[in-house]
Amino acid sequence: MLKALVLSPLLAAGIIGIFGRRWSERLIAVIGCSSVGLSMLLAVRVVFGELWSRPPEQRVIWEPFFSWIASGPLRVEWGFHLDALSGVYILFVTFVGFWIHVFAVGYMRGDSGYARFFAYMNLFMFMMLVLVLADNFLVMFVGWEGVGLCSYLLIGHYFDRAYAASAAKKAFIVNRIGDFGFALGVILIFATFGTLRFSEVMGAIAARFPEPEALGEIGLLTTIALLLFVGATGKSAQIPLHVWLPDAMAGPTPVSALIHAATMVTAGVYMVARCSELYARSLTALFVIAVIGGVTALLAATIGLAQWNIKKVLAYSTISQLGYMFLACGAGAFSAAIFHVVTHAFFKALLFLGAGSVIVALHHEEDMRRMGGLKRVMPLTYGTMLCGWLAIAGLPPFAGFFSKDEILWRTWTSPVLPEPWGRLLWAISWATAILTAAYMTRLIVLTFEGEERFARHAEGHRLVPRESPPVMTIPLLVLAVLSVGGGWMGLSEAYTGGRIANGFEQFVRPALVRVPLHSDPLRMAAEEPGHGMELGLAAVTTLAVLAALIWARRFYRRDPLRPAPRLLQNKYYVDEIYAALLVRPIVRGSSVLLWKVFDVALIDGAVNGVASAVAACAAVLRRMQTGLVRSYLVMILIGALIVLGYFVFVGSRLPAR
């Protein structure tokens, strides 16, 4: 079952990739969407039909496939492993993926690379499913790099535009920096545990390292955890490797929705949750993750406030939301992180698709300065975008509220973060929530409200924005429904006074570790701050967000084109700093110093120098071979004299044996 689920999109990708160029758009669309649809149905069946019906501790399905690499002590198999965590992932990945594929049928209409696009999208689905269903680190790495490859191919979909090609390359290389750390982490895991299979590694960790490594202690587990996390910062665009994601918006909008918002970029969170057994044993790693997540959330939100490109606003928003998820992981609340991954997939995919709908209506205009007033002509897009807007801002009862609030609360009460970092990071994420409300309101106001700022008569032809066709609006509606109601599945116990347990947490808990380790569950329950506190904090946040929404709406309606500070518009100059400190010195140094001076002048010069020296000697020696017996006699005489002299003057002084 798992094999069919994973291989269905691969098969479709192969068929479309090989034959698709001669086929009609309709046929390609049918194959491309139905393969993902099939995966979705199989995912529903295997998760609800097989996994759900078992008792919580036995919710694991393992399907070995065939041996991949066997060398010395290393044995790696292609094998799939389904538990509650990967179950949640395959459900929302295939679901959101399916609807984005449907949307893309309309969005990509008429594109010259239609077949190529769907082949790559299907390949991406395959790689993503491999990533989440892998039963060992190396197969996960296949998916990990595979989604990166598809991301590269799809960012570069419009490959004849220089910026798209360059953005694709940047995404791949920056991800490779992360993967460098990830690969070293995998090697270190193998060297430590002698296996790469998750179940064996996690079991061995629990047995060999019962006590967590303390804060500030860089032990074996911390090293592994941090190396793997380097990979996560790359894939999930966290500081300092976040620079590729905004550029990745050069790809078609469904790609941004699927890969760069809903699924691939959350792979880092998945990996950390998958290794929660490991991370829970390194307080240093948890602390680093929490701080990087919190700082990324805040800084990305500030940048989002200053961008004019609608997709870039959403890109920075994604970085910021991913920061939230890592903050949750760092606070030890892995289940809250995964919950936010799911709700974020719903509302961020919705927002991207909504933006895509607008972009198509305006003939590929992405600059919000040339939008405005679209709510009259695009009521469906506008209405669904409003749902996404309130969901990401985190107003109850929209989906984002429940997951974001859970993260804030878990950060406040984190048992693993040192004092006063829990409160401090809570304050940071609280500020981020307000900023989120502000930049999203700005996006909505600039795009849909106020006066029209697009040119209705550009380049001779009339531009009449129209609502998108049903093939694009139906996915919007589906995702809007989930953005509104999807949060209830993870309703915190506080709202029912503890009568109804948090369903989402209940489901994924067996696949995750409980933090802190080794505490008496009874004492933990007693020590947990009360529900009243949780509700109180939620109320404070909600009121602040509401105030921010109202203020931002008034502010941007009055002055929509007010520019933000230079520092924010230029994204804190991170790209420029990297170019000046890393890229240019390496390229210049390699070109001038290594190649031209060292390689050509020094090494090759020395080699050629030796060669010409030999040639010169040979030229001199050749003269000696005159063919005259007399001169040879002279030389023999000189030689004999030298030998004789040696024995007379030097040889006599040698000690006799």
Partner 1 sequence: MGGHLLSWLTFAPTVGALLLLFARVLMSAREETIRRLALALSLIPLGLCIPVLMRFDPTASGPQMVERAPWIRFFGFNVDYFVGVDGLSLWFVVLSALLVTISILASWRAIDQHVLEFHIFLLLLETGLIGVFVALDLFLFFIFWEVMLVPMYFLIGIWGYERRIYAAVKFIIYTMVGSALMLAAIISLYYLNGGTTFDILAITENARAGRLALAPQTERWLFWGFALAFLIKVPLFPFHTWLPDAHVEAPTAGSVILAGVLLKMGGYGLLRFNLPLFPHATEEFAGLLCALAILSIIYGALVSMVQPDLKKLIAYSSVSHMGFVVLGIMARTEMGMQGAIFQMLSHGISTGALFVIVGVLSERRHTRVIAEFGGLARPMPVFSALFGILALASVALPTLSGFVGEFLVLVGTYTSELAHARAYTVLAATAMIFSAAYMLWMLERVLFGEITHEENRHLPDVNRRERLTLIPMAVLVIVMGVLPNPILRRTDRAISEVKQAAHGAVLVQWESPGWRMPNPALSKGAARERMGLMRRR
Query: Which residue ranges make up the site for partner 1 (CB under 8 A)?
Result: 21, 67-74, 138, 141-142, 145-146, 149, 152, 156, 159-162, 164-166, 168-169, 172-173, 176-177, 179-180, 183-184, 187-188, 190-191, 586-587, 589-591, 594-595, 599, 603-604, 606-607, 611
* The two three-digit tokens of residue 35, written as one number: 């393969």
The H or E element containing residue 229 is helix 220-235
70 vs 501 by CB, closer to partner 1:
70
72 vs 627 by CB, closer to partner 1:
72
How far is C-alpha 381 from the chain's CA centre?
27
Q: Provide the minimum distance between the beta carbon of 177 and partner 1 in the complex, in angstroms, as a whole number.
A: 6
77 vs 405 by CB, closer to partner 1:
77
In the three-class reduction of DSSP (H, G, I as helix; E, B as strand; rest coil), residue 65 is classed as strand
Is 316:304 a contact under the CB 8 Å cutoff?
yes
142 vs 206 by CB, closer to partner 1:
142
- Ranges of H-type helices in 394-460: 399-412, 421-448
- What's phi and psi for 441, nearest 5 deg? -65, -40
Q: Provide the minimum distance between the beta carbon of 222 and partner 1 in the complex, in angstroms, as a whole number.
A: 16
80 vs 409 by CB, closer to partner 1:
80
17 vs 510 by CB, closer to partner 1:
17
Is 274:198 a contact under the CB 8 Å cutoff?
yes
Q: Provide the minimum distance between the beta carbon of 503 and partner 1 in the complex, in angstroms, as a whole number.
A: 36
How many Å apart are CA 237 and CA 175, to the nearest integer? 9
146 vs 372 by CB, closer to partner 1:
146
169 vs 531 by CB, closer to partner 1:
169
The H or E element containing residue 77 is strand 74-83
Q: Provide the minimum distance between the beta carbon of 247 and partner 1 in the complex, in angstroms, as a whole number.
A: 13
Q: Provide the minimum distance between the beta carbon of 514 and partner 1 in the complex, in angstroms, as a whole number.
A: 33
399-412 helix and 334-361 helix, angle to the nearest 10 degrees: 140
Q: Provide the minimum distance between the beta carbon of 626 and partner 1 in the complex, in angstroms, as a whole number.
A: 28
184 vs 206 by CB, closer to partner 1:
184
- Cα atoms in the Cβ-side hemisphere of radius 13 Å centred on 64: 7
Q: Provide the minimum distance between the beta carbon of 123 and partner 1 in the complex, in angstroms, as a whole number.
A: 11
How many Å apart are CA 641 and CA 638, to the nearest integer? 5
229 vs 556 by CB, closer to partner 1:
229
583 vs 637 by CB, closer to partner 1:
583
- What's phi and psi for 627, nearest 5 deg? 85, -5
DSSP per residue, 127-181:
HHHHHHHBSBHHHHHHHHHHHHHHHHHHHTTSTTSHHHHHHHHHHHHHHHHHHHH
Q: Provide the minimum distance between the beta carbon of 176 and partner 1 in the complex, in angstroms, as a whole number.
A: 4
Q: Is 548 exposed, middle or buried (0-12, 13-18, 19+ CB in 10 A)?
A: buried
Is 353:100 a contact under the CB 8 Å cutoff?
yes
How many Å apart are CA 355 and CA 426, to the nearest integer? 31
How many Å apart are CA 642 and CA 647, to the nearest integer? 9
222 vs 276 by CB, closer to partner 1:
222
How many Å apart are CA 404 and CA 13, to the nearest integer? 36
Q: Is 610 exposed, middle or buried (0-12, 13-18, 19+ CB in 10 A)?
A: exposed
* The two three-digit tokens of residue 196, written as one number: 């790469």
Q: Provide the minimum distance between the beta carbon of 70 and partner 1 in the complex, in angstroms, as a whole number.
A: 6
Over its C-alpha atoms, the chain yields an Rg (Å, rounded) of: 31
The 10 Å Cβ neighbour count of residue 458 is: 13
How many Å apart are CA 14 and CA 509, to the nearest integer? 37
Is 399:316 a contact under the CB 8 Å cutoff?
no
161 vs 557 by CB, closer to partner 1:
161
58 vs 67 by CB, closer to partner 1:
67
Q: Provide the minimum distance between the beta carbon of 465 and partner 1 in the complex, in angstroms, as a whole number.
A: 29
Q: For 346-381, what is the HEC assignment?
A: HHHHHHHHHHHHHHHHCCCCCEHHHCCCCCCCCHHH
How many Å apart are CA 79 and CA 199, to the nearest integer? 12
Q: Provide the minimum distance between the beta carbon of 154 and partner 1 in the complex, in angstroms, as a whole number.
A: 13
| Core vs surface per residue 5-17: b (16+ CB within 10 A) or e | bbbbbbebbebbb
Q: Provide the minimum distance between the beta carbon of 609 and partner 1 in the complex, in angstroms, as a whole number.
A: 10
Judging by DSSP bridges, how do beta strands 60-71 and 74-83 pair with one another? antiparallel
DSSP annotation of 275 reads T
Q: Provide the minimum distance between the beta carbon of 502 and partner 1 in the complex, in angstroms, as a whole number.
A: 37
Q: Provide the minimum distance between the beta carbon of 318 and partner 1 in the complex, in angstroms, as a whole number.
A: 23
Q: Provide the minimum distance between the beta carbon of 257 and partner 1 in the complex, in angstroms, as a whole number.
A: 23
Is 392:347 a contact under the CB 8 Å cutoff?
yes
Is 106:471 a contact under the CB 8 Å cutoff?
yes
DSSP annotation of 259 reads I
Q: Provide the minimum distance between the beta carbon of 72 and partner 1 in the complex, in angstroms, as a whole number.
A: 3
Q: Provide the minimum distance between the beta carbon of 145 and partner 1 in the complex, in angstroms, as a whole number.
A: 5
